[in-house]
Amino acid sequence: MKKVFTPRLIFVVSVVFAAALSRLLPHLPNVTPIAAIALFGGTYINRKAFAFIIPLVALFLSDLFIGFYTEMYAIYISFAITVGIGLLLREKTNLTTTIFASIASSLIFFIITNFAVWMSATYSYPMNFTGLVLCYEAALPFFRNELFGTLAYNTLFFGSLYLAKQRFTVLAKA
């Protein structure tokens, strides 16, 4: 029988929940670990159901403290897609694939969440192609910050597990 709560799972879940709690600390706009939590959890939580559930629960718990917001569904959709990217990343996790997965997850987050903003903000943007472009254009500074946050947090998360595995070989086992 395969052990469910391995040292590596405990390490990864601890990182995921600590990162979710870090959303409660002061930070630059959109420099948060949201996409990094999803990518890291999807990559290293072995059971697919847990890979989705654990990061989503961590995100939801931090949202309980932050508060709920109109476009919350878009963040959760992009979050779930990013977990899926993490599942794909499992097969070949290295620096290059992790960077590309980070950029892809940031782009997905940007596209989905800003589309939701445009759809719900009929008072701010015209409901046509021009309005959609204006919405994305206005969000570019936030995308830059989100991409920076995702790359920085993924460097921290993936790097910490890599270094911890060098020191504690028990973490290398799935």
Amino acid symbol at 60: F
User: What are 133's two structure tokens?
Assistant: 């472009």
Q: Report DSSP state, residue 94.
A: S
Q: Which residues of the chain are modeled with pLDDT < 50?
A: none
Model pLDDT, residue 17: 87
Model pLDDT, residue 122: 66
Sign of the C-alpha dihedral computed for residues 164, 103, 79 and 61 taken in this order: positive
Model pLDDT, residue 2: 64
Model pLDDT, residue 67: 84
The CA dihedral of 47, 50, 54, 60, to the nearest 10 degrees, is 140
Model pLDDT, residue 69: 80
Model pLDDT, residue 120: 87
Task: Determine which helix (DSSP H) or strand (DSSP E) holds 50, and give its type and residue range.
Answer: helix 48-66
Angle at 143 between CA 160 and CA 85, to 5 degrees: 50
Model pLDDT, residue 21: 87
